[in-house]
Amino acid sequence: MKKTLKQLELFLKGSSFDRGIRIGVGITVPFAVLYFLGFFEYAPAVVVGAFLNAPGDIPGSFKRKVNAILVSIGLTMLITAIILFSKPYLPLLLLALGVITFVVSLLSVYGFRASLVSFSGLLAMVIAFAIQKETAQEILVQVALMGVGGLWYLVVSFIFQKLAPIKEQNQLLSDTLLLIGKYLKLRAKLLTQKTKRNERLKQTFVLQHQINEKHETLRESLLTARKRSGRSRYEEKQLLILLSSINIFELIEAKHLDYDMMDDIFGNRKEFLKASQNLNKIMGNHLIRLSELLIQNDKIPDRATLLDALSKTYESISNYIDTVQLPEAREGALVLKNLYDYQEQILEEIRTIRRVMANVQEASKVSLKREDSSQFLTLQEYRLNVLIQNFSLKATMFRHSLRLAIAIVFAYLLGFILDIQNTYWILLTIIVIMRPSYGLTKERSKDRIIGTLIGAAIAVGIVLITQNVVVYAALAIVSLILAFALIQQNYKSAAALITISIIFVYSFINPDAFEVIQYRVIDTVIGSTIAVVANYLLLPSWEVDNLKQVLLNALKMNKSYVLATQKLYQDPSLNQLSYNVARKEAFLAISNLNAAFQRLTQDPKSKQRKFQLIYEIVTLNQTMISAIASIGNFISNHKTTPASIEFNILIKKISNTLQISFDSLEHVQIKKKITEETAEDAQEKLMDKYQQLSNLRDKNIDQGNTELDTETLHALQEAYLIANHMAWLKSLSENLKKATERYRYSIINGSCD
């Protein structure tokens, strides 16, 4: 019960509920004001305008939000006018339907915000069928009032932004810390549990993508605000939390261990990893609690549990050495020490977040270099060239737009021929659930039908209890607010609430509520069926056919990341910024690859060609980026020796192998520059360096010098990590090259036959 109440409190204080209230205010206030002023006949048009332009109001740069809503207002007004003027002429109406659907949905190529503006346009097209205006004057008045409604919603959004300027960013930061906490706990399970390891690795792909998406939105929101007008005290705090969350995410990625090697080293002595596993769990839970405190007003939890878990993790290293004994214990001890160092750094970042949230004075003094923050922003291009590049049957969005246009025209004709009462409900269902991916369309279709049935059942129960129109009106408003608050988190529940709202709104027009419920359910089922069938049969876009470009980008960014790490090793102070930018680009590329793989898993089994091969490629790319991050993180946080010739040779070998994989996919002539013998020799020399240090340490122990000084420890750690991780990276890059070649021959070449 306590947990349920806490979740309810977080929901009511969160930005999602705030957004639902915002839309509720945008809709109800015009109704009330115009009713009392005696101009109620104008209220529906103003309300429709406000409703249609709400989708573009999403977290991010305020300037981009305003621009999106203004574009949305113009687009919805234009589309509404075209449909209303075309209504009397069926051929013209069908042409308008097809062209508008295709062109407007194609605008989604300009990114997520543009896709929401596109959705507003499609929604305006469908709602226009519910508007009964015949003369040119009536149509123009309707369109003008919709424009007023859109501007009114923009004012509402601005007021809410001023009343709670930090709420959206706090919610994003809260969501990010929650996801990172879950990610840490999942990594803990991977550490010692061999069973279900592949299944859990797939779960990490989902979390990585979600975290990267949150970080991208936060960068846009916080860094553009900083560039525009300098940082306020609270914006600086939010930026510090963002930076710490990015550092924690990189540290978790860097701690992606060679689990097969771990199994070999520790064998049946996994109990010595339990302390590290427990520390991950405790830190994960702590981050989840901090995520809640960004929304709630409560005390920050005591740090004693964290420090105690860290202390036990350190003790486990000594226990391992005492049990196994040197020199046999050295390799395992170094693995445990490297693991401890990462966890200690994560804990330090968590403590930074704690200090910021607790308003400790020293927290605000953490220096933020005046780097060019624009380098960390992923800028969306809005040039016509982007649209032209996607104007091809090979482009996913082009195929989706064409498929959606055909489905919409077919659905309208079906409704026209069968004389269906509210054909636009079918159209509405199609535009709401149809996505470029078949799997997502099918999932949303299922959720939509189930949600509609649940909403209809609840509405039936309420209608049987009472026929009070005041109750209907109140329920319509409340359910609409809750629907918009839940639409991102729980689409099924949102669909149920939207159904309840629509049923009670229509009950004012049609007193027979049961008839409204019946039509609503039938039309939803018809629309969902058309959407799923169209996605499967009309220019289907299976993820296996779209994977090439995403994979090419991941290979390219991994290569850039490797080379940036090489430069970092040569001069950390000079190359830290370029390394951070390369890291961000590589993380985004792997995030997109993970997302593509998730979409692949949602396609029908018959369309998942070479699934295991693709999974192998995704896993190899993911492991590579983690191994690179591990080296980069060690260099950034330790005083290291100069980069050796052997290190540079292996870097060149690895980057060339990645380039060969890239060229292989692109059918470019391949040039091999580093011979295998040279790379193997460099690899042996790196391992020899570690072995020499190890032997020297053994001699010191034999002579009675058992105390290990920090300099020797760091030298051993560096030699061990560099030697093993470079060998690991070389092996991963070679395996990736082989897997990529198999992928090209079996999928790309096979699709050309």
Give the domain ranges of the chain: 1-164, 167-365, 438-540, 545-752
The pLDDT of 415-426, averaged and rounded, is 87
Q: What element of type H or E holds 25?
A: helix 15-37
Residue 106: partners with Cβ closer than 8 Å, 6 or more residues away: 118, 387, 390, 391, 397, 398, 401
Candidate from 255-259, 314-318, 535-539 with smallest mean pLDDT: 255-259
- CATH code 1.25.40 for 167-365: no
- What pLDDT, on a 0 to 100 scale, did the predictor assign at position 103? 95
- What pLDDT, on a 0 to 100 scale, did the predictor assign at position 707? 61
Count Cβ atoms within 10 A of the Cβ of residue 570 and give its class: 0-12 exposed, 13-18 middle, 19 or more buried.
Answer: middle
Q: How confident is the model at residue 363 (pLDDT cuts 50, 70, 90)?
A: very low
Q: Is the pLDDT of residue 228 over 80?
A: no
Residue 553: partners with Cβ closer than 8 Å, 6 or more residues away: 589, 592, 593
Residue 607: partners with Cβ closer than 8 Å, 6 or more residues away: 438, 540, 542, 544
Reported as a single tens digit per residue, the pLDDT across 37-78 is 888 889 889 999 998 998 888 877 778 889 999 999 999 999
Q: Strands, DSSP E only, in 570-655?
A: none
In which residue are the tokens 């993970």 written?
A: 594
CATH class name, domain 545-752? mainly alpha
Query: Percentage of the chain with pLDDT > 90?
Result: 24
Same fold yes or no, 167-365 and 545-752: yes
Residue 620: partners with Cβ closer than 8 Å, 6 or more residues away: 732, 735, 736, 739
How many Cβ atoms from other residues are within 10 Å of residue 20's Cβ? 22
The pLDDT of 321-332, averaged and rounded, is 78
The pLDDT of 664-691, averaged and rounded, is 66
Residue of 218, 183, 228 whose CA lies nearest to 294: 218
Output b/e per residue, 262-296; b: 16+ Cβ within 10 A: beeebeeeeebbebbbebbbbbbbbbbbbbbbbbe
Residue 145: partners with Cβ closer than 8 Å, 6 or more residues away: 42, 45, 46, 49
On the CB side of 44, how many CA atoms lie within 13 Å of its CA? 10
Look at 685 and 287; give whichever has higher pLDDT.
287
In which residue are the tokens 């001069």 written?
A: 571
On the CB side of 329, how many CA atoms lie within 13 Å of its CA? 16
- Distance (Å, whole) CA 446 – CA 528: 8
- Distance (Å, whole) CA 628 – CA 583: 9
Look at 166 and 123; give whichever has higher pLDDT.
123
Reported as a single tens digit per residue, the pLDDT across 128-148 is 998 888 899 999 999 999 999
The total number of residues shown for the chain amounts to 753
How many Cβ atoms from other residues are within 10 Å of residue 715's Cβ? 18
- What pLDDT, on a 0 to 100 scale, did the predictor assign at position 269? 74
- What pLDDT, on a 0 to 100 scale, did the predictor assign at position 648? 85
Residue 515: partners with Cβ closer than 8 Å, 6 or more residues away: none
- What pLDDT, on a 0 to 100 scale, did the predictor assign at position 368? 46
Look at 529 and 471; give whichever has higher pLDDT.
529
The pLDDT of 277-292, averaged and rounded, is 92
Contact 592, 622 (CB under 8 A): no
- What pLDDT, on a 0 to 100 scale, did the predictor assign at position 370? 44
Q: Alpha carbon of 599 to those of 21, 423, 459, 602: distances in Å?
A: 33, 31, 35, 5
The pLDDT of 188-197, averaged and rounded, is 74
Maximum CA extent, the chain:
102
pTM for this one? 0.83
- Distance (Å, whole) CA 138 – CA 606: 53
Count Cβ atoms within 10 A of the Cβ of residue 373 and give its class: 0-12 exposed, 13-18 middle, 19 or more buried.
Answer: middle
